[in-house]
């Protein structure tokens, strides 16, 4: 079976990291993704495609949107598309003549997905922002009684709060279209998606009976004798008891949930981990449910035995990249094609999408 989104045509208006990630996920699921790139960036001769995991699995058509015919080329492609993914600032697509109102006039069944930092309206809609901006205003960096937390080393707001929320919205809109026969516009704001991820989780943690693990000595990382680190997530009491048993720590310790005793617990657990190399501890916890795992570098992840056994990483364009996820029982998981260079597929893609009348126009360019 092909990918579950086989037959779905996605037109990606290039230029946004969050939009690129959303388009990558859709391509991984089998959609035919065609990216609109700037004609000015087309190389003079064929070049080696970039090793860019956020550009894999799609084709590239180069269009000069400042050319009098440029918007018409894009709108002809819109007429053949199921989905548009656009990540410019609010109003930028409208200025180019390819905004959602115009696009839906050409194709009433179109799902027009937009992802921005602040959303399409509101007092900050046109303001710039980065991942840390949206983490800050949604409470994701707030640690009660402490200095604000260091932001995570990945784009939580852009990817999870923005791009993945957009993908969910696109899939929901495609499903709804089966009933209504109509398309619609999706406004995915990173700030709102991040709030959904962080604020609701924080409120859940503060529900009576729930355990807050922020800064807990049984939910953190510890250095070993070789300078490597292990992560510990022994939250549940039976997992915690197993952790102490494997570390050889006795019962004369403060209670697990006695926060006044956490400094002592952290010291004792830390001393235990420092007594051996990380490889020794990995063997000790190999068959354990104490939730202890190595802290790997990005370069080491693909070599982890479990990820190797599942084929969680694949080679794309000579580079190890995460395999498409999730998995399906029938639909096939295909290794994505390498990222294209700008304009690599202009002629072929225009023909495949049935708008090859523009192939000889100066509004488009390819190699």
Residue 32's pLDDT is what?
97
Contact in structure between 353 and 9 (CB atoms under 8 Å): yes
d(CA 55, CA 190): 20
Question: At CB < 8 A and 24+ separation, what contacts does 244-252 make?
Answer: 246/284, 246/285, 246/288, 246/290, 246/292, 247/272, 247/273, 248/272
pLDDT digits (tens, 9 = 90+) for 162-189: 999 999 999 999 999 999 999 999 999 9
The stretches of the chain forming alpha helices (DSSP H) are 17-28, 70-78, 92-96, 100-106, 131-137, 164-180, 190-205, 237-247, 262-273, 278-284, 305-310, 346-352
Predicted pLDDT of residue 211: 67
- CB-based burial label for 311 (10 Å; 0-12, 13-18, 19+): exposed
pLDDT at position 207, please? Answer: 77
Q: Beta strand pairing status for 32-38 and 9-13?
A: parallel
**b/e map of 260-280 (b: 16 or more CB within 10 Å)?**
eebeebbebbeebbeebebee
Q: How many CA atoms lie within 13 A of 311 on its CB side?
A: 9
* Three-class secondary structure assignment of 296-356: CCCCCHHHCHHHHHHCCEEEECCEEEECCCCCCCCCCCCCCCCCCCCCCCHHHHHHHCCCH
- What Rg value do the Cα atoms of the chain yield, rounded? 25
| pTM for this predicted structure | 0.93
Q: What is the pLDDT of residue 252?
A: 87
The pLDDT tens digits for 120-151 are 999 999 999 999 999 999 988 887 777 888 88
Cα angle at 158 between 156 and 163, to 5 degrees?
110
Render pLDDT for 185-216 as a digit per residue (tens, 0 to 9): 999 999 999 999 987 777 777 777 676 777 79
Identify the pLDDT of residue 123: 96
Assigned token pair, 88: 């410019």
| pLDDT tens sequence across 330-360 | 998 889 999 999 999 999 999 999 999 999 9
Tokens describing residue 155: 């784009």
pLDDT in tens, 227-270: 999 999 999 999 999 999 999 998 789 999 998 999 999 999 99
């Amino acid at each position: 079976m092909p990918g579950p989104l086989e037959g779905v045509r996605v037109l990606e208006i290039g230029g946004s990291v969050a939009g690129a990630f959303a388009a990558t996920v859709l391509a991984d699921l089998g959609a035919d993704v065609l990216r609109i790139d700037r004609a000015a960036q087309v190389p003079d001769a064929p070049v080696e495609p970039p090793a860019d995991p956020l550009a894999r699995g799609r084709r590239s058509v180069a269009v000069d949107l400042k050319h009098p015919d440029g918007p018409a080329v894009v709108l002809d492609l819109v007429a053949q598309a199921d989905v548009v993914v656009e990540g410019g600032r609010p109003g930028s697509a409208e200025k180019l003549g390819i905004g959602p109102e115009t696009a839906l006039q050409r194709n009433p069944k179109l799902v027009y997905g937009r992802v921005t930092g602040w959303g399409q309206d509101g007092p900050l809609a046109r303001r710039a922002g980065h991942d840390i901006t949206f983490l800050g205003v949604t409470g994701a960096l707030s640690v009660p009684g402490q200095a604000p937390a260091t932001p995570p080393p990945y784009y939580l707001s852009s990817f999870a709060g923005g791009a993945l929320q957009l993908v969910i919205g696109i899939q929901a809109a495609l499903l709804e279209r089966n009933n209504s026969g109509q398309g619609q516009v999706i406004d995915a704001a990173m700030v709102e998606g991040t709030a959904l991820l962080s604020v609701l989780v924080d409120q859940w943690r503060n529900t009576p009976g729930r355990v807050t693990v922020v800064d807990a000595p049984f939910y953190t990382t510890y250095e070993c004798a070789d300078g490597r680190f292990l992560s510990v997530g022994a939250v549940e009491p039976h997992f915690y008891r197993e952790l102490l048993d494997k570390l050889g720590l006795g019962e004369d310790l403060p209670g697990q949930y006695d926060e006044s005793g956490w400094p002592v617990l952290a010291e004792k657990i830390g001393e235990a981990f420092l007594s051996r190399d990380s490889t020794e501890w990995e063997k000790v916890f190999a068959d354990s449910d104490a939730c202890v795992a190595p802290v790997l570098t990005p370069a080491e992840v693909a070599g982890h035995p479990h990820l190797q056994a599942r084929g969680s990483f694949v080679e794309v364009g000579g580079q190890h990249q995460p395999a498409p996820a999730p998995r399906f029982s029938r639909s096939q998981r295909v290794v994505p094609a390498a990222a294209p260079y700008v304009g690599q597929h202009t002629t072929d893609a225009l023909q495949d999408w049935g708008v090859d009348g523009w192939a000889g126009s100066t509004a488009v360019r390819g190699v």
